[in-house]
Structures are given as C-alpha cells and as structure tokens.
Amino acid sequence: MLQKTSITTRDGVFVNPVIGQKKSGDFVDEVIVKCYETMIKLYYPENRCKLGTLHTQMKYAGPKEAIHHAIMRQNYGCTHIIIGRDHAGVGKFYDPMAAQKIFDDYPELEISPVFFPPFFYCRKCLTYTTPKACPHDNDVKEQISGTALREMIQNGQAPSEFILRPEVAQVILDHPKPFVD
C-alpha cells in the first residue's frame, strides 16, 4: 500500500529488503524475497518496480537505524525513502513516531523521507485510509497486528485479502518454516 501510493506521484519504487540476521518471529529471508517477487509480478505495472536485496542485519535501533537505512538508500541513488510507523523498532521500545521525528536533526541528508501513518482498509470508506481521514469505528476496519498475523499463519489460515494479497499469503502458507526461530 505504501509503495503503490508512492508510485502514484513518482517514477517508480526500488524495493530493497534487508536480508540477513533477524529476530525470532520475523519472516525468514526466503519468504521475504518470494513474497516480493510474487507481489511485483502480479500487482505492479512493468518497469515501475525494481527488487534488490540489501545484505546486512537488522539491529532494531529504531530512529538511528532509520537514518542508517536512509544513508544506504541515498548511496543507491534513491531520491526518497518510505519511513513508516516504528521503523526498525522492536516491541514497544521506541516511540512509534521517533523514527520520523529524527530526520529533523539530519537536514544534510540528500534523500528525503516520505512519512506514512498506519494504514487500514475501511469497509465504509471503501478504501485504504488512516485515522486522520476516516471517522469510522474499529469494527469496520481491516487491520491486524504482527502477532495476530503470525498466529493465523501458524494455524494455516490466510488473513483477509485486505491485509495480505491471496497469492502472497499462499507463498507464506506453502513455506515449511516461514518465521525465524
């Protein structure tokens, strides 16, 4: 959703997932790459999306890691970087907005952060939206926590198509061990 929204006003998107050591409960690298390959093949116009992997490890350093990620993507030649809620966070350790606020302290960066609030699908608005734009109650919103998503997958259930595209969900469900131990 964030990537597609970004493409609407820019030339294209470079999808550059971190491949390397991660914490328990995160998706394993093979699942990450296969899911992106499936999503790009089925849901992106040709030549609007490039996939390349970034071989390093996640450090879960929240705002500091957001700046590091921005510098690495600046070095790739990217003009913008998407910074979502709680970028590179872990549990409830960081203020979810800290990774966005820290960019005020680094005006010398040549890459511009693009900030997004958390998105959800609203069955009344009939679109993906945010708390700023949608007044409706939680019972008409399709949103799911990482923990709930893991539980569903471990029980062999595919989440709603508003949370995960069915073909991408299938890639995860078909994998014998989609999560890091």
List of residues contacting Zn ion (CB under 5 A): 122, 124-125, 134, 136
Residue 100 half-sphere exposure toward CB, CA atoms < 13 A: 13
How far separated are the first and last CA of the chain, in Å rounded? 28
Q: How far is the CB of 144 from Zn ion (least distance, A)?
A: 17
Q: How far is the CB of 124 from Zn ion (least distance, A)?
A: 4
Name the strand (E) or helix (H) holding 178: none
Name the strand (E) or helix (H) holding 39: helix 29-43
Buried b (16+ CB within 10 A) or exposed e, 46-62: eeebeeeeeeeebeebb
Q: How far is the CB of 31 from Zn ion (least distance, A)?
A: 31
Tell me whether residue 101 or residue 124 sits nearer to Zn ion (CB atom): 124
Tell me whether residue 4 or residue 136 sits nearer to Zn ion (CB atom): 136
Tell me whether residue 59 or residue 124 sits nearer to Zn ion (CB atom): 124
Q: How far is the CB of 137 from Zn ion (least distance, A)?
A: 9
Look at the alpha carbons of 119, 149, 52, 58 in this order and tell me if their dihedral is positive or negative.
positive
Tell me whether residue 139 or residue 181 sits nearer to Zn ion (CB atom): 139
Q: How far is the CB of 168 from Zn ion (least distance, A)?
A: 24
3-state class percentages of the chain: helix first, strand second, coil last, to nearest 5:
35, 15, 50
Tell me whether residue 74 or residue 143 sits nearer to Zn ion (CB atom): 143
